[in-house]
């Protein structure tokens, strides 16, 4: 059965407004917003247009923030992936693998234009798969660790166990905890990524008597002396 993404977005918005944590998200949230990690997520955000907080929670869900694991599915980024999406890589760095995951792999989050909270959560749910939405169940990928989720999990591809409980923390609770720590995170629907500014180019050498700065008095005198010497040759 096809999933209506508009309906899913509305349901995710409602759940977001009601969600209360049932587990402690704070330790993982602190790790995700730590300056070194945030800088790496922002570098990928600058290249893809995907908000860095989205990248952070997907990284946590896919590989528990393992920097050796690809953002796409958690496989080692320096080898060809074997899990879905399979056949990706190898890549030279975690960042290169992350850009590939967001730009070239379904659901191609880099193409998303709706970064409201409903749009963000729905894109994250698509990132994991719409199997739960197809069953009219809250996705543990999003809601695990909150009162919006109790049980039910795909224990492997295509196999759903209604009694299995997801042990990982879900993206919604992580985002709420991250927002409490970092007020710069918001979901107003108008996310604009900031390009990374190139480093200023340092001059090759300082002006000197033998190499005066262009346009300076020294340069003017040097040009006169050069003309005199050429005339006397």
- The whole-number pLDDT of residue 197 equals 33
End-to-end Cα distance, the chain: 91
| pTM for the predicted model, two decimal places | 0.80
Q: For residue range 122-148, list pLDDT tens digits in order.
A: 999 999 999 999 999 999 999 999 999
The mean pLDDT of 2-23, rounded to a whole number, is 96
231's CB contacts (< 8 A; 6+ apart) are none
- The whole-number pLDDT of residue 129 equals 92
Q: For residue range 46-70, list pLDDT tens digits in order.
A: 999 999 999 999 999 999 999 999 9
Classify 73 as helix, strand or coil.
coil
Q: For residue range 182-219, list pLDDT tens digits in order.
A: 999 999 765 444 333 333 334 444 445 455 555 555 55
Given a contact cutoff of 8 angstroms between Cβ atoms, the answer to whether 178 and 29 are in contact is yes
State which H helix or E strand residue 226 sits in.
helix 217-232
Q: Average per-residue pLDDT in the chain? A: 87
Given a contact cutoff of 8 angstroms between Cβ atoms, the answer to whether 203 and 214 are in contact is no
Between 227 and 140, the higher pLDDT residue: 140
- The phi-psi region of residue 126 (left if phi > 0; otherwise alpha if psi is between -120 and 50; otherwise beta) is alpha
Between 85 and 198, the higher pLDDT residue: 85
What are the structure tokens assigned to 108, written together?
């191609």
Q: For residue range 90-128, list pLDDT tens digits in order.
A: 999 999 999 999 999 999 999 999 999 999 999 999 999
């Amino acid at each position: 059965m096809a999933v209506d993404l508009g309906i899913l977005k509305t349901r995710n918005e409602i759940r977001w407004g009601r969600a209360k944590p049932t587990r402690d998200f704070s330790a993982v949230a602190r790790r995700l917003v730590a300056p070194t990690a945030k800088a790496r997520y922002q570098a990928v955000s600058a290249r893809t247009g995907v908000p860095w907080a989205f990248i952070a929670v997907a990284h946590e869900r896919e590989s528990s923030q393992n920097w050796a694991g690809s953002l796409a599915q958690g496989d080692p980024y320096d080898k060809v992936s074997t899990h879905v999406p399979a056949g990706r890589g190898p890549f030279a760095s975690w960042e290169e693998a992350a850009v590939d995951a967001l730009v070239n792999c379904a659901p191609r989050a880099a193409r998303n234009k709706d970064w409201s909270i409903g749009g963000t959560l729905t894109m994250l749910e698509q990132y994991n798969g719409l199997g739960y939405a197809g069953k009219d169940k809250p996705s543990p990928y999003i809601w695990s660790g909150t009162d919006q989720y109790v049980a039910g999990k795909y224990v492997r591809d295509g196999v759903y166990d209604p009694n299995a409980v997801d042990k990982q923390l879900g993206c919604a609770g992580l985002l709420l905890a991250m927002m409490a720590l970092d007020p710069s995170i918001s979901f107003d629907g108008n996310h604009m990524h900031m390009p990374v500014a190139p480093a200023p180019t340092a001059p090759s050498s300082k002006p000197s008597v033998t190499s005066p700065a262009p346009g300076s008095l020294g340069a003017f005198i040097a040009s006169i002396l050069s003309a005199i010497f050429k005339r006397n040759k």
